Structures are given as C-alpha cells and as structure tokens.
C-alpha cells in the first residue's frame, strides 16, 4: 500500500473545482477495457487525504496512524478548500509525483531523473500558471 500526491490543474473559472478534479481523475482510477492503452494509475483517490493542506503549508501529521488521526480530528477534518489553491499560492518547494492537466493528460515522474521531473513539473505549472490546483491523495 502506498500513497502519492497528484496535482490536478483545473481552470480558474471552474464553478466546482473539486468535482472537476474528480472527473479528470476518473480515467486514471479505472482501466478502460475499450481503450487498453489507458491503464489505471491508482486504485483509490481522495481530495487532500494524507496530504491535507500540504500545497500551501498546513502542518502535517504523518506520525499518526489512520485510527489515531480519526480519534484526534474526526472524519471531517479534511476540507476541500484546504486542498484547492491558485498555482501562484503553492509552496515554492512543492513537487508532486504526478500532474493531471486540464486537457485530462497524466504526467508523472516515472522513468525520469529527479532533475528531469522537476523541470517538467515546473514547466507544467508555468504553462498553466493562471489556473488552480486540487491536491489529490492517490492510493495504489
């Protein structure tokens, strides 16, 4: 079981960024039998999840297991609004494993050196700099 952070970029005018991010993630959650080239990237995903607020610097609680986290904070601690930010408001040192762009394309660090991925990652953020990001915790 592992988790990784994916940033889903949506247009800044999107009325419901959470729903749009989920829509853009769905093709990477399920394998499309009609399109064998499209393979699932994760078997589950949630907005924020264990990366709740990470994109803007919210204190993280990695030392708590899920049961302790739930006892301490309850089920409603992860708020969508803590995981949606303009690209210009992201932590400057933030790097995710993957990015889904508004056209629905998946980009990840698989097979790339750290330097190659960082260059691609920053290039995508610059390309979509006027948009917003939804942080997604992917599970595989």
Give the β-pairing of 98-100 and 3-10.
Answer: parallel
CA dist 109 and 97 (Å) reads 6
Q: Could you list the pLDDT tens digit for every one of the 140 residues in the chain?
A: 688 999 999 999 999 999 999 999 998 886 556 665 567 888 888 888 888 888 987 776 556 666 666 666 655 566 788 899 999 999 999 999 999 999 999 999 999 999 999 999 999 999 999 999 999 999 88
CA dist 132 and 86 (Å) reads 4
Q: pTM of the entire structure?
A: 0.83
CA dist 17 and 19 (Å) reads 6
Structure-block tokens of residue 131: 């948009």
CA dist 89 and 129 (Å) reads 10
The residue with tokens 């803590």 is 82
CA dist 82 and 72 (Å) reads 18
Q: What is the pLDDT of residue 63?
A: 61
């Amino acid at each position: 079981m592992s988790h990784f952070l994916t940033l889903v970029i949506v247009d800044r005018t999107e009325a419901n960024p959470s729903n749009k991010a989920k829509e853009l993630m769905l093709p990477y959650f399920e394998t499309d039998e009609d399109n064998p080239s499209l393979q699932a990237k994760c078997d589950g995903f949630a907005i924020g999840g264990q990366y709740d607020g990470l994109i803007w610097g919210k204190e993280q609680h990695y030392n708590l297991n899920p049961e302790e986290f739930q006892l301490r904070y309850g089920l409603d601690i992860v708020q969508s609004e803590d995981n949606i930010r303009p690209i210009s408001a992201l932590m400057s040192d933030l790097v995710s494993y993957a990015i889904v762009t508004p056209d629905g394309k998946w980009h990840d660090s698989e097979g790339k050196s750290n330097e190659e991925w960082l260059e691609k990652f920053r290039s995508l953020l610059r390309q979509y700099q006027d948009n917003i990001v939804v942080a997604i915790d992917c599970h595989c």
